[in-house]
């Protein structure tokens, strides 16, 4: 009788552990955080975003006027931001710090100051 109780408890315990590990698999790591960003002469909105090191992210970039682009030289990331369909820039920050991206496509007199800053923390 006692042995049956113990084995039942063990089975329930094992199932509980399976449930916990099973649900963990479909959270954060598999669904990258999507951040919508609007490019418009001569700024990105938002112009600063906070990211976590090691957490995958997708920047969804829209243009509201002319074609733009974004380049993070230190991160070796570059994408065009055309008109119409948004561009997606997927990456996982591997270092902490502040990284400044610049518009990579000449779009007028304020082009040089068109930046997007990533603040990456642990």
Residues at the interface with Cu ion (CB under 5 A): 103, 107, 111, 114
CB of 31 to Cu ion, least distance (A): 31
Closer to Cu ion at the Cβ: 94 or 109?
109
> Cβ 37 to Cu ion, closest distance in Å?
14
Instruction: State which residue, 60 or 80, has the beta carbon closest to Cu ion.
Output: 80
User: Which three-class secondary structure state does DSSP give residue 89?
Assistant: strand
Question: Could you tell me which of 33, 31, 66, 61 has the C-alpha nearest to residue 47?
Answer: 61
44 or 99: CB nearest Cu ion: 44
Nearest to 58, CA basis, from 35, 28, 85, 26: 35
Cβ atoms of 80 and 67 closer than 8 Å:
yes
CB 114 → Cu ion: shortest distance, Å?
Answer: 5
| Coil, strand or helix at 32 | coil
């Amino acid at each position: 009788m006692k042995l049956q109780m113990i084995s039942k408890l063990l089975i329930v315990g094992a199932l509980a552990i399976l449930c916990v590990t099973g649900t963990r698999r479909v959270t954060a790591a598999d669904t990258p955080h999507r951040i919508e960003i609007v490019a418009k002469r001569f700024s990105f909105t938002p112009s600063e975003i906070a990211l976590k090191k090691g957490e995958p992210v997708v920047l969804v970039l829209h243009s509201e006027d002319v074609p733009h682009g974004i380049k993070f030289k230190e991160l070796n990331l570059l994408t065009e931001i055309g008109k119409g369909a948004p561009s997606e820039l997927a990456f996982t920050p591997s270092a902490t710090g502040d990284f400044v991206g610049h518009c990579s496509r000449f779009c007028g007199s304020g082009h040089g100051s068109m930046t997007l800053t990533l603040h990456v923390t642990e």
